[in-house]
Amino acid sequence: MHIHILGICGTFMGGLAVIARQLGHQVSGSDQNVYPPMSSQLEQQGIVLMEGYKAENLQRKPDLVIIGNALSRGNPEVEAVLNQGLKYVSGPQWLAEHVLQDKWVLGVAGTHGKTTTTSMLSWILEYQGFKPGFLIGGIPLNFGISARLGESDFFVIEADEYDSAFFDKRSKFVHYRPRTAILNNLEYDHADIFPDLDAIKKQFHHLVRTIPGEGLIISPECDENINEVLAMGCWTPVAKTSINSSAQWNAHLVKADGSQFKVLFENNDLGCVEWSLTGDHNVYNALSAIVAAKHVGILPTDAITALSQFKNVKRRMEVLAHIPALSEAEGNGVTLYDDFAHHPTAIHMTLDGLRKQVGQERIIAIVEPRSNTMRLGVHTKTLAESLGNADLAIVYQPEAMGWDLSELKKYATNIEICASLDEIINKLKLEARYGGHFVLMSNGSFGGIYQRLQDELR
C-alpha cells in the first residue's frame, strides 16, 4: 500500500512514517518545515520527502493519506485530497487501528516530560529484552530512532493531548487506550486550541475513562490538576510518586541536582539511580518509568540498572559542543547545549537542574518562544520568571511575533531582547569571553543558529 503523510516532519507524524515503512508500506510525505533530525531520520528509512504542500504531490494517487493535525482547510494539499475523493485518516486513528490493536499499550501523558519518560520506559523494556514497539516525540539516544514496530506485545507511546486532525478535534491520546498510563503533570498549554485549563482537564479525563480497571495510572502526589482530573471519576488503581516525601513510590535525592537518587517503595530502599541527567523533573520521569515497568513485570532493581545507562533524548539538554577557553581569563570555556523548550515550566525545571549541577558558574539562556502558547503571549510573566536561574537570558523576537517581548522586562532584570540571529550571535561572542553554559532553548530549528554559533565561537 502507498501511504502519503501530510506534515511528515512533525515528531509524531515522522515516527508514524517509520512504523508504516516497517510494516512494509511504500511511504511518502510532504511538509513545509523540513529540517534535521526528523528529515535525516526519514531519508535514512528510504521515505520520499516533498518540500511544501501542493496538489501535484498527490499525482501518484496514494492508497491512503494520513493528515497531520497541523494542517487545516485551505491547505492546497488538503483541498486536493478532498476534491479527489482520496481515502484519508488521522495519524492517531491509523496507529490505533493498524498498530496498537492487541498490544499492551503503555502511554505517557502530561504537559511536560512525555518524550523523556517515554524514552526511559522504552529503554527499560529494551534493556530487559522485551524489544518493545515505541513512538516517541523525539529521538532517544539509546535507540537513534524515534519509532519502531517492535517484536513484542508491548508498545510504549507518547500520549499527546493535542488534537488529532482538523476533522477530529479529540486529543490524540483518546485513541490509544493504554493499559498502563503515566500522567506526568498538567498545566495550561496549547492556547491555540484549548480556551482554558478546564478544557484540558476534560480531555485528560476522557483518557482516564479508557484505562481498564486491571490497568494502572501513575501520577505525582503533588500535582493538584491531575488529582482533580482523577477526582472526576477513576476506575483504575493509582500509584502515586513523590520526591523527598511520603508517597508509595518516593525518590530520595542523594544529590540535590537529581543526578543520584534512591528509589523507595513503601519506605523500602530498592536501589539508587546514578546518571548524567539532572533536575527534579527527570527524577519524577524516572520514578514513573520504574513503576510502569514494574506493572509489566520488570523488577525495580533491573529498571534502576537500565536507567543508569540511559543516555537521554536528542535536544533535551544535549551537549552540542565544548568550546575551550582561549586564555585563563575565560575560565573553563563555553559549553553549548540544545534544549527543546516549549513551556515556561519546562524552561524553569531545566535551568534549575543545571544551576544545581554547576553551582555559581555562569548560565546564559537563549530562548526562541516558538510554541503556539508562548507566541500568543499567554505566559508572559511566568516565562520571565522561568529564566530566573540564568545570569543572562537572551530572548529572540522575530518579526512575526504577535506581541512585544519587551514586556518580559517588567518581571525580570536579567532579560535582553534581540531582533535578529546576528545580534544574538554577536552578543554571545562577547559573553563567551567570560565562559559559562550557553543553553539554546527552542522547539524548532531556531533559524539554524546551532551550527552558526559553534562556528563563530570557535
* Full 3-state SS string of the chain: CEEEEECCCCHHHHHHHHHHHHCCCEEEEEECCCCCCHHHHHHHCCCEEEECCCHHHHCCCCCEEEECCCCCCCCHHHHHHHHCCCCEEEHHHHHHHHCCCCCEEEEEECCCCHHHHHHHHHHHHHHCCCCCEEECCCCECCCCCCEECCCCCEEEEECCCCEEECCEEEEHHHHCCCCEEEECCCCCCCCCCCCCHHHHHHHHHHHHHHCCCCCEEEEECCCHHHHHHHHCCCCCCEEEEEECCCCCEEEEECCCCCCEEEEEECCEEEEEEECCCCCHHHHHHHHHHHHHHHHCCCCHHHHHHHHCCCCCECCCCEEEEEECCCCHHHCCCEEEEEECCCCHHHHHHHHHHHHHHHCCCCEEEEECCCCHHHHCCCCHHHHHHHCCCCCEEEEECCCCCCCCHHHHHHCCCCEEEECCHHHHHHHHHHHHHHCEEEEEECCCCHHHHHHHHHHHHC
Grid cell at residue 23: 510494516
- Cα separation, 339 vs 346, in Å, equals 10
Q: Write the CA distances from 343 to 127, 158, 197, 255, integer angstroms.
A: 31, 17, 14, 26
Q: Pick from 307, 327, 356: which residue ends a domain?
A: 307
Same domain? 264 vs 375: no
Please check whether residue 161 is in contact with residue 171, taking contact to mean a CB–CB distance below 8 angstroms. yes
Q: Look at residue 139 and tell me if it is in a domain.
A: yes
Q: What is the reported pLDDT for 260? A: 97
Radius of gyration of the CA atoms of the chain, in A:
22
Same domain? 180 vs 63: no
Each of the 458 residues of the chain gets a pLDDT tens digit; together they read 999 999 999 889 999 999 999 999 999 999 997 767 677 878 888 898 999 999 999 999 999 999 999 999 999 999 999 999 999 999 999 999 999 999 999 999 999 889 999 999 999 999 999 999 999 988 899 998 899 999 999 999 999 999 999 999 999 999 999 999 999 999 877 777 788 999 999 999 999 999 999 999 999 999 999 999 999 999 999 999 999 999 999 999 999 999 999 999 999 999 999 999 999 999 999 999 999 999 999 999 999 999 999 998 888 888 999 888 766 666 678 999 999 887 888 899 899 999 999 999 999 999 998 766 666 656 788 889 999 999 999 999 887 777 788 888 889 999 999 999 999 999 999 999 899 999 999 987 788 888 999 888 87
Q: Pick from 25, 59, 91: which residue ends a domain?
A: 91
Q: What is the reported pLDDT for 34? A: 73
Q: Look at residue 451 and tell me if it is in a domain.
A: yes
The single residue listed with the C-alpha cell 486513528 is 93
Strands 260-265 and 268-274: antiparallel
Q: Look at residue 312 and tell me if it is in a domain.
A: no
Q: By C-alpha distance, which of 443, 449, 400 is closest to 426?
A: 449
Grid cell at residue 444: 524548532
Same domain? 221 vs 365: no
- Cα separation, 292 vs 118, in Å, equals 10
Same domain? 226 vs 276: yes
Residue type, 405: L
Domain of residue 23, residue span: 2-91
| Cα-based torsion angle of the residue sequence 147, 110, 112, 345 in order, rounded to the nearest 10 degrees | 170
Q: What is the reported pLDDT for 377? A: 59
- Cα separation, 266 vs 253, in Å, equals 16
- Cα separation, 242 vs 372, in Å, equals 30
Same domain? 48 vs 111: no
Domain count, the chain: 3
Q: What is the reported pLDDT for 327? A: 65
Mean pLDDT of the chain: 92
Same domain? 285 vs 186: yes
- Cα separation, 314 vs 28, in Å, equals 24
Q: Look at residue 313 and tell me if it is in a domain.
A: no
Kindly report the CATH number assigned to the domain that includes residue 181: 3.40.1190.10
Same domain? 173 vs 249: yes
Q: Pick from 39, 67, 91: which residue ends a domain?
A: 91
Q: What is the reported pLDDT for 37? A: 67
Residue type, 37: P
Kindly report the CATH number assigned to the domain that includes residue 21: 3.40.50.720
Same domain? 282 vs 403: no
- Cα separation, 458 vs 452, in Å, equals 10
Phi, psi of 201 (to 5 degrees): -60, -40
Same domain? 112 vs 221: yes
Same domain? 159 vs 302: yes
Please check whether residue 75 is in contact with residue 54, taking contact to mean a CB–CB distance below 8 angstroms. no
Q: What is the reported pLDDT for 16? A: 95
Grid cell at residue 350: 531545566
Q: Look at residue 384 and tell me if it is in a domain.
A: yes
Q: What is the reported pLDDT for 372? A: 61
Kindly report the CATH number assigned to the domain that includes residue 353: 3.90.190.20
pLDDT digits 0-9 by tens, 261-281:
999 999 999 999 999 999 999
- Cα separation, 405 vs 67, in Å, equals 34
Indicate the angle between helix axes 280-295 and 114-127, nearest 10 degrees. Answer: 40
- Cα separation, 45 vs 63, in Å, equals 20
pTM of this structure: 0.86
Same domain? 273 vs 360: no
439 pairs with which residues across the strands?
Answer: 337, 365
Q: Look at residue 33 and tell me if it is in a domain.
A: yes
The C-alpha angle 422, 424, 425, rounded to 5 degrees, equals: 65
Same domain? 300 vs 332: no
